[in-house]
Structure formats: C-alpha cells, structure tokens
Amino acid sequence: MSETDYKEPEWRSMLKAVPVRNSAAKVLSESDASVSVQVKNRKPGYRIPPISWFVPYKPTITIELDELGTKLWHCCDGSRDVEAICDAFSEEYGLSFHEAKTAVTDYLGKLIQRGVLAITMQEQK
C-alpha cells in the first residue's frame, strides 16, 4: 500500500471540522452563564388543512443553552476546530480526551440539528 492509497479515518477529519454559529440565528441574550438563541423552525409536512387548523406552528423557536452549552457556544467562533474544543473541555473538566470528545460531539450534534450551529470542513489534501 502506497502513501497515496492511505485514507485518513473519518473521525480524524471530523475532529478537523470547524463549528461556526449559524448566521441566520438571532442571539436574544448572551452572558457568561447562559445564551438564548432564536432560530427558524422548519415547516412540518403536515401543515396542510385541516390539520393546520388545529396544530399550532411557530415560525421560530428559542433555544436556551445551559452552562456547558454556553461554553461550547463561546468556543464555536470559527477559529477552533472540534479537536481544539475537545482539548479545552478535557483540560477544564479533568476528562480524558475521549470522554471530552464524546460529550462535545454529542452536544455539537444537537445544536447543529436544531440549527444553532453549522460545521465547515477543511479541504482534504
């Protein structure tokens, strides 16, 4: 197997991804202890009459981040990759890198799914 045939494991490229704040999200309040973010809500497929007459739909949702979510929010400024964020959480809370990676990536996934954050991938060399 030559060097050109070697493919980096997927988790390594995931660690090099850079989480950024969704530019469409509106920050309602922000402090060191909490962040409140408003994002657009996806219109569900069942929003057709007569169901839409009875089921309320809000075009935006507000997400309140707890202390850990707020720390993660502050880390996702576009200058740090996931690995650097995991390292920071590992040092701050006395966790192993793998424990921090699990916690950080799970939380990132939830924030991405809710539209608070987005991920940018670096170019593969």
- pLDDT tens-digit map of 54-100: 777 788 999 999 999 999 999 999 999 999 999 999 999 999 999 99
Residue 70 sits in a domain whose CATH number is 3.90.930.60
Contacts of 117 (CB under 8 A, 6+ apart): 19, 20, 21, 22, 76, 108, 111
Contact of 55 with 48, CB cutoff 8 Å: no
CA distance 55 to 9: 45
pLDDT value of residue 117: 94
The residue with greater pLDDT, 124 or 93, is: 93
Q: How does DSSP classify residue 9?
A: -
Nearest to 21 by CA among 100, 104, 108: 108
Q: Has residue 61 been placed in a domain?
A: yes
Q: How does DSSP classify residue 77?
A: B
What 3-state DSSP class applies to 111?
A: helix
Q: Has residue 75 been placed in a domain?
A: yes
Q: Has residue 104 been placed in a domain?
A: yes
Range of the domain at 51: 9-120
Tally of domains in the chain: 1
Q: Has residue 68 been placed in a domain?
A: yes
Does the model's pTM come out above 0.85?
A: no
Using 50, 70 and 90 to split pLDDT, how confident is the model at 125? low
pLDDT value of residue 56: 79
